[in-house]
Structures are given as structure tokens and as C-alpha cells.
């Protein structure tokens, strides 16, 4: 099933959802420590970037600097869709929020500063309403 490509439909159908928990970005030498179940991994030359629950990273003794809230955009976006990431990033940048975007097959996932995650959801919901 292919995803949505129309930017207006993508924006109006975002339905941003804040996942429970605090998430961190950390890195390992390629072997995940026991007890760490990442929600995202990215293989880089310098090591394996892991996004996981903070509690799991703490238990494994992994270092991190950034604690994030994880927002899922519930619209099924096509990987070749144009403009969704830019529109979301622009909306969040306007209120001074960083946003790390990960595209999954079905949905886009945003990692924003944890203490402002609910504010990000509210801003994205307003963007969706304005696009409807």
C-alpha cells in the first residue's frame, strides 16, 4: 500500500501523537547492550546510533546528551512525498524547537526536546487544522 503524496492531505491528516517515555540518542560500537531495545538505529562510520528509552540507556551505562519526546505523525506518508518534513520543521523552528526526523515506511517520527514535546504536538495539531 503506497502512502499519501499530496502535501495538503499529509498536513491535514498528520494527527501527531506523543508516545510515552523519554528517549535518548546514544552510540555503540555496533553491538547492542543487553536490555536495550532501540526504536531507531542508524549505522554510521563512527558507530551505531541508537534511539532508545532513557531508562534502558541508563541501565546499560550508555552516555547521552539529548533527551527527547517521540512524536509519531499518524498519516501514512509516501517516502517520496515532498514538503512534509520541511513544513513540520518550519513550524517547530518558528517556536524555537529542534526536531530530529526519522522516516519509517508508514509514518514520520519526530524527536523533540522532551520538556517541550506537548508544545510541539499542539503546534503540529494547529498546523494540521490550518491545512484542512
Q: What is the pLDDT of residues 4-47, one digit of tens each?
A: 898 899 999 999 999 999 999 999 997 899 999 999 999 999 99
**Under CATH, what is the fold of the domain 7-131?**
VC0802-like (3.30.2130)
Separation between Cα atoms, residue 56 and residue 130, nearest integer Å: 38
Residue ranges covered by each domain of the chain: 7-131
Q: What is the pTM of this model?
A: 0.94
Q: Is 9 exposed, middle or buried, given 0-12, 13-18 or 19+ CB atoms closer than 10 A?
A: middle
Amino acid at each position: 500500500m503506497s502512502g499519501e503524496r499530496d502535501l495538503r492531505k499529509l498536513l491535514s491528516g498528520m494527527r501527531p501523537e506523543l508516545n510515552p517515555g523519554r528517549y535518548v540518542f546514544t552510540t555503540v560500537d555496533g553491538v547492542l547492550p543487553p536490555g536495550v531495545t532501540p526504536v531507531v538505529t542508524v549505522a554510521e562510520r563512527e558507530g551505531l546510533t541508537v534511539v532508545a528509552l532513557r531508562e534502558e540507556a541508563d541501565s546499560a551505562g550508555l552516555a547521552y546528551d539529548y533527551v527527547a519526546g517521540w512524536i509519531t505523525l499518524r498519516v501514512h506518508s509516501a517516502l517520496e512525498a515532498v514538503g512534509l518534513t520541511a513544513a513540520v520543521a518550519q513550524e517547530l523552528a518558528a517556536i524555537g524547537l529542534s526536531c530530529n526526523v526519522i522516516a519509517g515506511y508508514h509514518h514520520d517520527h519526530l524527536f523533540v526536546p522532551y520538556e517541550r514535546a506537548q508544545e510541539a504536538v499542539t503546534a503540529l495539531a494547529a498546523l494540521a487544522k490550518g491545512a484542512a
